[in-house]
Structure 1
Amino acid sequence: MRSVKTLLVPYYEHPTERPDAWDALLAAADRLYGVVLNPASGPGAAPDPAFAVVAGRLRAAGVRVLGYADTDYGRRPHAAVVRELLCHRDWYGTDGAFLDQVSAEPEALPHYRRLAVAARTAGARTLVLNHGVHPDPAYAELADLLVTFEGPWDAYGSLAVPLWTAAHPRERFCHLVYAAPPDAHVAAAVQCVVPGAGVHPWGTLPHALEPIR
């Protein structure tokens, strides 16, 4: 039976510091929707050979590799975001884009339409928008996947799902949940549920993937 690729993993640890965790990610390749590559809150100032190696290994295993770029809720200039996506592509061979801190408001839609076109032009076959909340419904036209929740486990139980989402397949939505217990159950078809908390929760893998130390 073919595995269902349900895990979108933002893992922000350096490969030389946590090689065992990156090996665990590769071992779970048949379960991964994709991995977000984030060397330095973006691609960094220059190529990082260690990230280039793990990106190549992920691609060889058939895993989407998504380059991280912060949009600061529409405040970062278009050119700055696109430049980072091009660096991800040229340095790490990314085949998708993960835009973070994306505005949920309809007024920002023109800005994100331009970014979506630019990301596709730069070679992003998969585009993920991380709003962290449910955005205006029109954002669903721009991306392959919308992150409609990012937050701690104790806030996840009060998540309200708007009616407009029913017009789209469940696989179009993702929830990123941190500070979660081992038995945490998340309703989203695409997800990442990690034990990490505080200012850097995405330095931990999902419970089921965390290597035994």
Structure 2
Amino acid sequence: MDDLLQIAIDGPASAGKSTVAKLVAHQLGYVYCDTGAMYRAVTWAARKEGIKADDNAALEKMLKNLEISFKPAVDGQRVYVGHAEVTTAIRLPEIARSVSTIAAQVSVRKALTKRQQEIAANGGIVMDGRDIGTTVLPNANVKIFLVASVKERALRRYKENKAKGIVADLKQLEQEIAKRDYKDSTRAVSPLVQAVDAIKVDTTQLSIDEVVAKIMEIIQKKGKK
């Protein structure tokens, strides 16, 4: 494939988007953009500033001077808000509980969508999120919609938290993920929905390597057209 493609990977929380998108980007030699981390970074900054998650006007003002950046690292990438590294902090449960409300605010959606479109402008990008194929990159060359059962996604999040030393209750995680699915799918601005031209991949019974292989096969077929 000589042309640099825009690859959009969407889906609900803990469907495996970020893990898979990183590996796909690595195989292609593309840039990876974790849009979820961007929304979590805004959530972290809002909490630090004492701004309520639904205060659209205050968030809009904060975003004008908010710098979010990514830096490569041996074990992935580091996330920064200004000069503060927030890689671990944005994955804490309190951030997860507020990020859907933050992401539903018009000012936040507008500002981050613009930044994401600028990042992807020249192609050679793998971007994951909730509305990449429908709103951020509606003309993306390849669109994937990853899904998995709530039970499986909760278990994945539980294992991730445990590995990071974060205490979590599996049943509570199931309830939180189901609640987030509802909020993400019913919000007024850029709701979570499968793009009409996206290919659905159910990851419930698949390993990470199997999901990556399936997506690479889809990309190869699209790239040849």
TM-score by length of 1: 0.34
TM-score by length of 2: 0.32
Higher helix share: 2
